[in-house]
Structure 1
Amino acid sequence: MSNQRQRTAWGPAAATGVGSMPGTDAREAARTVTGILEEPQHLPFLPELPARGPGADMLGRTTGLLTEMYVHLEPSGWRISDRPGRDTRRSRAWLREDLDALEEFTQGYGEQDRPRGVKLSAVGPWTLAAGVERRNGEAMLGDPGAVRDLAASLAEGLAEHLAEVRRRVPGATPVLQLDEPSLPAVLRGGVPTASGYRTHPAVDRAVVESTLRDLIAVHDGPVVVHVCAPGVPVGLLRRAGADGVSLDASLLTQRDDEAIGEAVEGGLTLFAGLVPGTGAAEGVDGGGLSDPAGSVGGVRSLWRRLGLSPGLLAESVVVTPACGLAGASPAYARRALAHCARAARSLADNPQ
């Protein structure tokens, strides 16, 4: 996808969140996100509120999107069911509540001078396969046929979800984010079995790439893949069709430079997690949120190492928190998102 197509969803000096927010009030979360990210270059998002309980979490919300495939909650986690039950109904009800709130606070997006992007998150097929159990208690990841069925169900459900968002927020450009925190473990054979004594074998990279490519093709707009773990397979994700890769910038090493440089030069956008996701280190400066220019120092250094044009920096980087904000206080979450917006602006004001 061309940079021009991406610019219909976000602009230079853009900021966004990863997905999760603290609290249980969908209207307050939507108000916060759309209010702080109100400038047209930014990318507001549909918040996840895992504090509401199972079904509102990242994995539970996505299982509610599946088509003709159902899950229920066991003590060990989410497990495939024969029919929709209470857990599926709860997941879907909370998602409707979230969409109602998003629709309320995005009125008028279609009337603006340029299309506004709205980011929606769902767990990607490989993290879903690693996190959902078959009836025997083992992860679906261990059964290639089950993984194919799961990916097909997810693709159909996401297509319906994207159509619903287009209906509710006319004129907006949906941006699909696939959350794949387990992807590096899937590729290296690090996902544990139910017993915990061994791990599932590594999945062939070509199979991983093909499955992601098929799912990404469901959406005709921008797709971002989020991986908040070391060893992000940037090249694989780019080949699969991702327009952006979202990652925790603190986990990058110089071994990642070549893949990132090639991807950025090829038009991929780096959603750089540069702001702490919690206020655990919160002090007099609000957890390191007093210096927007300082927060983006790492990505400036990366740009210099790669020899990329400084003028590409604000065009090719979207500033985000390092990961979701569910574990933060509401006050810190608001400050963190606002700091992302200020830090993004500093990239444009001083690209050197």
Structure 2
Amino acid sequence: MSTEHPFPELVGAATGVGSLPGTDAREAAKTVVGSFEQLPHLPELPARGPGADMIGRGAGLLTELFVEVWPSGWRFADRAGRDTRRAHSWLGADLDALEEFTQGYQGALKVQAVGPWTLAASIELKYGEKALSDPGACRDIAGSLTEGLRRHLADVRKRIPGAQLVVQLDEPSLPAVLSGAVKTASGFQRLRAVDRQVAEEVLRGVVLSLDAPVVVHCCAPEVPIPLLRRAGVAGVSLDFSLLTESADDDLGEAVEGGTVILAGVVPSTDKPGSKSGSVSDPAGSVQGVRTLWRRLGLGPELLGRRVLVTPTCGLAGASPAYARKAMSLSVQAARSLVDNPE
């Protein structure tokens, strides 16, 4: 159970959210392992197409549930077809590349997968409506994902025996699931909100069934931090630019309770309109984290141990040059939290 495996003791650490630009698995693995000394991650390359995208990759981890691409997106199918096989192939290539560049590695290593609620909000049932509309389908997805993740973790451990694995569940749709903001497949209506207790129970079932600490990443506003903590997560990954002071109490209680915060502070894209004011100033990019820490009255000595620095979201939309820069800036910013915590 994940509660028996505390989050790895990392000091002044940074990591990536998951996705990178490009299609070269070896180059991506080499870059990530070379950039993040304390917590490298398994890269994701959605530019390769269906099956390498977030939902297709996550659906490829499901056991005894199969998907295929329709004009409207991903839909469940009766059997494994070309699209499911492609997802398996992309993941295998990514694992081969990561294994190549982690020979002899000893330390924390993060793998990512879409969480059960975002999968349910994104994949359609065979008759066309989203799986989120069917409580039984939601539980089937969670159970299938849990078994698939167990197999995935076992595979990674065989390939990289020295790795202390951390699982990141990507749940960008969770706030919308809880608020009834997920649109129906037609787009003309919205699906009923999922009861928060039900959402918590389903997440807890996944989290506590994995033999690795679990982090939930959500780059949307209104991340339900208390719900995630009750579900047993070891850490919460969020976009710091979306936080408001109303989240102070939840964050303070999380930190005091031992939850690790993965603070997305480095802009994930260099495109016009992105929040890039602090890109050239790594220490400045985490000034908001320091301000929050002081506002919460937390000890500065905890800052570099309870906060990891990340980009605000995945880097798939960035240029390759900027993606490398964002990783480097994240590392520098994380170190500054230790060197200059005040």
Question: TM-score with structure 1 length normalisation?
Answer: 0.94
Task: Kindly provide the amino acid, as one letter, of the partner of residue 88 in structure 1.
Answer: T
Whether 1:103 aligns to 2:93 is no
The aligned runs of 1:181-330 (5 Å cut-off) are 181-281=172-272, 288-330=278-320
Deviations 1:157-214 (A, max 9, x none): 0000000000000011111000000000000000001222211111000100000000
The residue that corresponds to 1:135 in the other structure is 126
Distance 1:3 1:15, change over 3 A: farther
Match of 2:84 among 73, 84, 88: 88
Count of aligned residue pairs for this structure pair: 340
Q: Is the 8 A contact 1:3 1:267 kept in 2?
A: no
The residue that corresponds to 1:5 in the other structure is 6
SS at match of 1:224: strand
- Superposition deviation, residue 5 in structure 1: 2.9
Question: TM-score with structure 2 length normalisation?
Answer: 0.97
Q: Is the 8 A contact 1:272 1:319 kept in 2?
A: yes
Distance 1:134 1:4, change over 3 A: closer
SS at match of 2:317: coil
SS at match of 1:151: helix
Distance in 2 of aligned mates of 1:257 and 1:279: 29
The residue that corresponds to 2:158 in the other structure is 167
Distance 1:318 1:3, change over 3 A: farther
Identity value in percent: 64
Distance 1:244 1:288, change over 3 A: same
Distance in 1 of aligned mates of 2:197 and 2:273: 43
Distance in 2 of aligned mates of 1:211 and 1:2: 17
The residue that corresponds to 1:18 in the other structure is 17
- Superposition deviation, residue 289 in structure 1: 2.6
Structure 2 unmatched ranges of 5 or more: none
Distance in 2 of aligned mates of 1:331 and 1:270: 27
The residue that corresponds to 1:113 in the other structure is none
Distance in 2 of aligned mates of 1:192 and 1:17: 29
Deviations 1:89-127 (A, max 9, x none): 0000000000000000000114xxxxx111110000000
Distance 1:185 1:4, change over 3 A: closer
Q: Is the 8 A contact 1:313 1:348 kept in 2?
A: yes
Distance in 1 of aligned mates of 2:273 and 2:129: 40
- Superposition deviation, residue 4 in structure 1: 8.4
